[in-house]
Amino acid sequence: MKIERKPSTALLPTPVVLLSVAGHGKEKDNIITLAWVGTVCSAPPMLSVAIRPSRHSHRLVDAAREFVVNIPRAGQLGKVDLAGVWSGAEHDKFAELGFTARPAKHVAAPLIDECPINIECVVRHQLDLGAHDLYLAEIVAVQYDEDVLDARGHVKTSALEPIAYVEGEYWSLGERIGSYGRAAKALKTEKK
């Protein structure tokens, strides 16, 4: 039986990331935790981030047009949560959370050294959708911690410990249950 509910942001699971952006003028570099992010194109590689106009980082992204999307580990969850709850207008999040700002290679934004994946982005489009502004950004470089890549340069997901967001809760990943194009062999054993 289906139960209808009013419209809501029901998509799940979504990624949990730390967006880092350069300070504007005398303001400090800032970090904001986001779950309303997604991949939007493969060539050029692009992602979307949605930020409320009331957030301190919104103004910084508007000024800089560049940012880094850092993928944190589950072991950093306390800091990740605080970076979403705190405002950059009141907290120096890099200093207070003990994160290291490291220069990116291709954008004028710091990356978070302690995060195992750092995605350097340049804003290409911006849309006012209502409660959130949507930034569509081109990925111009990606940096990985050496220990999350295997000998062939592929990402070791289990070493990453990424965080997923589901209805206000943070979740760890469980296990690999299949690969694209090769999971269909399990079909015969599935119930309809």
Subset of 119-158 contacting a copy of itself (CB under 8 A): 119, 125, 127, 129-132, 134, 136, 138-146, 149, 153-155, 157
Counting contacts by CB under 8 A, is residue 185 touching a copy of itself?
Answer: yes
Nearer to a copy of itself by Cβ, of 26 and 190: the residue is 190
If one asks whether residue 65 binds a copy of itself (CB under 8 A), the answer comes out as: no
Indicate which single residue of 28, 74, 92, 123 sits in contact with a copy of itself (rule: CB under 8 A): 74
- Cβ density class 14-45: b for 16+ within 10 Å, e for less: ebbbbbbbbbeeebebbbbbbbbbeeeeeeee
Nearer to a copy of itself, 12 or 89 (CB): 12
DSSP reduced 3-state for 187: helix
66 forms part of the interface with a copy of itself (CB under 8 A): no
Rg, the chain, Cα only: 18
Residues 76-95 that bind a copy of itself (CB under 8 A): 76-82, 84-85
HEC states along 70-102? EECCHHHHHHHHHHHHCCCCCCCHHHHHCCCEE
